[in-house]
């Protein structure tokens, strides 16, 4: 998760990440020590695997402004028995890194409200710029 750094980086505090309908994988997220650092939630060492068709970043009682949300999945989990050398055509260039795929990029994104042109699709556009820059910027914004 990449938060905003030009201002308001503290807004991410208290957020939680949910996979699927209700499996919380991170709660009470803290802003990173350096605002430009992404918030990394590594699930690879969990005893139980995490499955879900959707990932949500939720925050109650405050605005939420995200620069980017990436969901990296091992190629075996994305492709199953198929060869990773022939990736799914929906996976865009730049989404693969050392056998992992960012399955969130350019997928449908939603948010509960919108303010100042900060549409939900900006969280999965592949642009990790953490500066608002208004309508043409890369950050989401809720009310």
Measured in whole angstroms, the distance separating CA 70 from the mean position of its chain's CA atoms is: 4
Measured in whole angstroms, the distance separating CA 126 from the mean position of its chain's CA atoms is: 10
Among 47, 62, 1, smallest CA distance to 26 is for 1
Q: pLDDT exceeding 70 applies to what percent of the chain?
A: 85
Distances (CA, A) of 67 to 64, 70, 123: 10, 10, 6
Q: How far apart, in whole angstroms, are the C-alpha atoms of residue 73 and residue 138?
A: 23
With a cut of 90, say whether residue 95 has pLDDT above it: no
pTM, rounded to two decimals: 0.81
Instruction: Give the pLDDT band (50/70/90) at residue 124.
Output: very high
Q: Compute the mean pLDDT over every residue in the chain, rounded to the nearest whole number.
A: 82
Q: Which residues pair with 125 in a beta bridge?
A: none
């Amino acid at each position: 998760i990449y938060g905003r750094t030009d201002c308001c980086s503290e807004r991410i505090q208290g957020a939680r990440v949910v996979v699927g309908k209700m499996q919380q994988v991170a709660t009470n997220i803290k802003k990173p020590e350096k605002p430009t650092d992404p918030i990394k939630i590594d699930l690879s060492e969990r005893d139980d695997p995490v499955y879900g068709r959707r990932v949500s970043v939720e925050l109650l009682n405050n605005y939420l402004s995200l620069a980017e949300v990436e969901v990296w999945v091992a190629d075996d989990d994305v492709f199953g028995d198929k060869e990773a050398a022939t990736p799914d055509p929906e996976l865009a260039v730049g989404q693969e890194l050392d056998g992992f795929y960012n399955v969130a990029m350019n997928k449908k994104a939603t948010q509960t409200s919108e303010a100042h042109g900060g549409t939900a699709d900006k969280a999965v556009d592949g642009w990790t710029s953490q500066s608002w820059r208004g309508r043409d910027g890369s950050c989401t914004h809720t009310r």
